[in-house]
Amino acid sequence: MLKRQAYLNDQLLTFAVWFSAALVIGVFVWILSDLTFHGIAKLNWSFLVSAPENAGRDGGIGPILVSTLLILGVALLATIPLGLGTAVYLSEYTARGGALARFIGMSLDMLAGVPSIVFGLFGNAFFCIWLGLGFSILSGGLTLACMMLPIFIRSTESGLASVAIEWRHGASALGLTRAAALWHVLLPASAPAITAGLMLSIGRALAETAALIFTSGYVDRMPDSLSDSGRALSVHIYDLSMNVTGGDESAYGAALVLIVLLVVINGVAASLSDRFLRLRITTL
């Protein structure tokens, strides 16, 4: 009797497990095919470059793509130097495991978990109002930078930390100053990790909506300058699906473009890491 019960339990688990896996794959296929099916009709060159018409039901996403890229550009310009600097400081100039390092590390981890809408509120209060930047690409980009920094810093830091100790000792034995060792050896050696972290951050930034709604705004015209309000791709999808009746078609098209962008970025990140790793691996 006991054996039969055990056997049934085992079978039940097996079924449950396979069911879960099938469900996951099934939903994934469902969403992806739905996206493609509904969105593919809209995908053509003119969609990518022309301006939205009729509140976005017709026309394209040209100015929106431009705004998105500008916002991303601002975010990167702020994130990369600040992030690299902080990571280098954490990794090289603070005692590993010391109080300061642990405190900064924990703060960063917590920041990474803060909901994007809270960042949106902060961005609105700080960049738009207190700094007087208003609804602009600049505000949006800087807010995004705040969101990207914790992830980027953490991954850069772990990349630096994992650089083989042999190189550090070798650099020291050769009398290289810390700065020289960083510039010539440590940073190039951790380039794959840094790039991967950067790609991850970019992916997160592109997917962001809540932080941008009240920092970079809704305007869907082609922006003239960084202080203009601009609509990011994700915000456009939101607007089309929620506020514009009959905007679903265009929303799907835009969503497809966004997904393709993300896939490309992740693919580039993966292949970059691969290529770098192959050049770096010692054969001992």
Residue of 50, 38, 52 whose CA lies nearest to 219: 52
Question: Which residue of 177, 246, 268, 275 would you call a contact of other proteins, by CB under 8 A?
Answer: 177
Alpha-carbon span 124 to 121, nearest angstrom: 5
Between 98 and 132, name the residue whose CB sits nearer to other proteins. 98
CB of 9 to other proteins, least distance (A): 6
CB of 85 to other proteins, least distance (A): 22
Nearest to 148 by CA among 189, 117, 119, 191: 119
Binding mask 76-95 for other proteins (x = CB under 8 A): --------------------
Phi-psi region of 132 (alpha: psi -120 to 50; beta: other; left: phi over 0): left
In the bound complex, what is the minimum distance in angstroms from residue 132's beta carbon to other proteins? Answer: 17
Alpha-carbon dihedral 78, 79, 80, 83, rounded to 10 degrees? 130
Q: How far is the CB of 228 from other proteins (least distance, A)?
A: 18
From 46-54, 66-74, 85-93, 159-167, give the range in contact with other proteins by CB under 8 A.
Answer: 159-167
- What track of x and - describes contact with other proteins for positions 30 through 69 (by CB under 8 A)? -x--xx--x-------------------------------
Pick the piece of the chain touching other proteins (CB under 8 A) from 54-62, 75-83, 84-92, 201-209: 201-209
Of 252-281, binders to other proteins (CB under 8 A) are 252, 255, 258-259, 262-263, 266, 279-281
Range 7-36, binding other proteins (CB under 8 A): 7, 9-10, 13-14, 16-21, 23-25, 27-28, 31, 34-35
Q: Least distance from C-beta 5 to other proteins, angstroms?
A: 11
Q: Do residues 109 and 103 touch, judged by C-beta distance below 8 A?
A: no
By CB under 8 A, what part of segment 204-263 binds other proteins? 206-210, 213-214, 234, 237-238, 241-242, 248, 251-252, 255, 258-259, 262-263
| Beta carbon of residue 126, minimum distance to other proteins (angstroms, whole number) | 10
State how far the Cα of 224 lies from the Cα of 186, in Å rounded to an integer.
41
Nearest CB to other proteins, comparing residues 19 and 93:
19
Interface residue with other proteins, options 40, 118, 222, 264 (CB under 8 A): 118
Residue 50 Cβ vs other proteins, minimum distance, rounded to whole Å: 21
Nearer to other proteins, 121 or 226 (CB): 121
Of 6 and 49, which has the nearer Cβ to other proteins? 6
3-state secondary structure labels for all residues of 47-93? HHHCCEEHHHCEECCHHHHHHHHHHHHHHHHHHHHHHHHHHHHHHHH
